[in-house]
Structure formats: structure tokens, C-alpha cells
Amino acid sequence: MAVKLIDFWAPWCSPCRVMNPVLEELEKELAGKITVEKYNVDENQQIAQKYGVMSIPTYIVLKDDQEVGRKIGVTPKAELLKLLQV
């Protein structure tokens, strides 16, 4: 089963910067188990629209390309891990 975490962010977004180290930790801890994709919403508006992203940061978890979870805003690492369930 392919698990993907999509991160919608922007360089001017303070909560996005707060979450960056958390995402980096998750990427290291779950290397080989999940894929992390990061989209700057200013540069990837079409992708943000496709997923209905209205505010950032937004984290979307896909399993086999089906959305199984979504979190918006600063989110504790434990909550993201629970969402990923890998």
C-alpha cells in the first residue's frame, strides 16, 4: 500500500515554518514507508484547487491515491503519525 503525505505550504506562512521540522522528522522516521510531497500554494495553485485547499498549512494523507485523512494548521507530530497509520 502506497502512503503519501501531501504538504501544502507557502514561504510567508508562519505556521508552515513551525511545522517544517516536524515534517522533516516524519520523513526520516518513516523513510521507505511513506512519500512526502510538498507544494508551495503560490506556485502550485492548480494542485491546491484539485484538493480543495483553502488554508495552509494543509496536510493530506493518501493511501493508494485515495484521501484517508486531512489536517489543517499546526498539528502535533503524534496526530500526523496517527493519520498516517503506517
Of 10, 13, 22, 81, the active-site residue reads 13
Instruction: Verify whether residue 13 is a known catalytic residue.
Output: yes
Of 16, 34, 41, 80, the active-site residue reads 16
Instruction: Verify whether residue 16 is a known catalytic residue.
Output: yes
**Residue-wise DSSP of the chain:** --EEEEEEE-TT-HHHHHHHHHHHHHHHHTBTTEEEEEEETTT-HHHHHHTT--SSSEEEEEETTEEEEEEESS--HHHHHHHH--
Could you list the active site residues?
Answer: 13, 16
